Amino acid sequence: MPGKADPARGAVRKDWEAAFGSPPPPYLSVAFMRKALAHNAQCRAHGGLPSPLRRALRQIAIGHGVTESTRRIAKPGAQLVREWNGRTYRVEVVEDGYRMDGRTWRSLSAVAGHITGTTWSGPRFFGLTDRAGGRP
C-alpha cells in the first residue's frame, strides 16, 4: 500500500545508521540493507579485506588502472615459470603487461587463459597467490 510505512524498514534503517553513521540511501531495499549489515558485522568480527587488496582498491578509486594497481605481485623484470600439460611456459613481467612467446598481454589472467583455454586467476595459476587470494 502506498504511504504505509514498513516496520521492518524502520528497524533496519536504525541498525544501518548505528553501523555506518548515516541514513541509508532511500532506494535501498530492506533485503540489501540486511546483507550489508551482515557483511559489516563479519568484517568487524573477523577483519575486513586483506591490506594489499585494500591498497589496490584505493589506487583504483583515485584513478589508477586496475593492472597498474595490482601489479605489485611481480615487478618488471621478474620471470614467471609454469609447467602445464607437459610444456614449460616462461612469462616476463614488463612495464605494460606480461610477455610470453613474443606477445605482450595486459594481464596475467589473460596469459593463463591463453595457456589453458579457460578462465583462471593469473596470479593463482602461476603460484603467486593461494586459493584465498593471499600470498602462499
pLDDT digits (tens, 9 = 90+) for 26-47: 888 999 999 999 988 988 888 8
Report the run of H or E that residue 80 belongs to, with start and end: strand 79-84
Residue 130 lies in a domain: no
Dist CA 45 CA 24 (whole Å): 22
Number of structural domains the chain divides into: 2
Residue 24 lies in a domain: yes
At residue 22, what are phi and psi to the nearest 5 degrees? -155, 160
Residue 136 lies in a domain: no
Residues of the chain predicted below pLDDT 70: 1-5, 65-73, 130-136
pTM for the model stands at 0.48
Residue 52 lies in a domain: no
Q: Which residue, among 113, 109, 110, has the nearest Cα to 124 in the 3D structure?
A: 109
Dist CA 124 CA 61 (whole Å): 24
Q: Which amino acid is at 11?
A: A
Q: Which domain holds residue 110?
A: 75-125
Residue 57 lies in a domain: no
> Number of helices and strands (H, E) in the chain?
6, 4
